[in-house]
Amino acid sequence: MAAAVWFVGPDRLRQQLHHVDPAWFCVALVIAAVSQWVSVLRWEAIARIFGLRVRTRSLALAYAQGMTVNVLLPGATLGGDALRSVRLQGLGNPLGVSALTVLLDRLSGLWVLCVLSLLTGLALAVALDLRAGLHTESLMIVLPGAAASLDAEELFWAYLGGLALLCAIPWLPLRARTGVRSGLAEDTVRPAVGFGARWWNRVCELHDLAVAQRAPLGRSLWISLLVQVLCALTLWLCVLAAGGKAGYWQVQAVAAPVFVAGALPVSYGGFGARELVALAAFPLVGLPADLGLAASALYGIVAVVLGLAAAPSFAVTGLRPADRAGR
């Protein structure tokens, strides 16, 4: 975050945030809340695919509290996702499968987001001449060696190529292989190796379980599509709140790297990595780098507001299982 602010300049960022439009920010807050509710429905749909016991009210509470943990603790989404897994287990479900539904909920959203950004980027590349608006100097932070040797068109198509590779991951011939057989006597294997083998075998079992449900999981992707459209809409509204002038499709085209960076466990509440990537991504579609930084920071503030709004619920539920909290 400090590197992004230094690159733009504290004065420019302060001026950008000083003129924030409260009306657009409030609209962004409402849309973000709606996207959170639709995300709950997506998680519930995935849990039902695996035959887990679910209650919409309990999952909604767990999701909201997960956002609170995400914005208050370091590690981005790790803490909130762990809490959601435990809450779902509290409804009488196995912890491993509960954690699998949370992981698939997260990954399905990010994959659909990459697809949307790829398709939008391709459409913009065909419909508009974005090369004139690309500011390669904004990419020096993340591409210090390559930025000088790539022209605008090459940079944009390299970005779309990276998205295409990410979108192709579900079709790669990847299969988890079991390690040490569970029937092997423990005295023949060192404890640490035995624990690692059992853990890996469990991961392989969950992987096979997810692959077996590929068809119904695919049919549930329309919910992720709605979630990601709402998330990109929230980011676009943050652009408008920061005083920027941009089309929704421009923001959608670069939303994938921004949100993926925010989900990485290398930041505090998503701040830092998300802003640094936004600083580099926005110029890809002809938008100023400082606008990307300001909009990303506002998006983070929206998440903080929603997370803090759910914080009082911990006083009521504490760490009790979600089934008790949801009654």
Q: What confidence tens digit (pLDDT) does each residue in 276-290 have?
A: 899 889 988 888 888
Give residue-wise pLDDT tens across range 138-183: 444 444 444 444 566 778 888 999 999 999 988 877 665 655 554 4
* Helix or strand holding residue 289 (H, E): helix 289-310
Strand partners, 74: 268
Domains of the chain: which residue ranges?
Answer: 2-325
Tell me what pLDDT residue 267 has.
Answer: 66
Is the distance from CB of 52 to CB of 101 less than 8 angstroms? yes
Tell me what pLDDT residue 177 has.
Answer: 61
- pTM across the whole model: 0.82
- Cβ-defined contacts of 126-131 (< 8 Å, 24+): 130/156, 130/284, 130/285, 130/286, 131/156
- The tokens for 235 are 């980011």
Dihedral of the alpha carbons of 30, 309, 240, 166, in degrees to the nearest 10:
-90
pLDDT averaged per 10 residues in sequence order, the chain, 327 residues: 49 61 95 96 96 93 91 77 93 93 93 96 78 48 46 80 92 63 50 64 75 87 96 96 91 95 75 85 88 90 90 73 45
Tell me what pLDDT residue 207 has.
Answer: 73
The alpha helices in the chain, defined as continuous H runs, are 2-8, 10-18, 22-49, 56-72, 78-89, 95-127, 152-167, 191-212, 214-219, 221-241, 248-263, 273-281, 289-310, 313-317, 322-325
Tell me what pLDDT residue 111 has.
Answer: 94
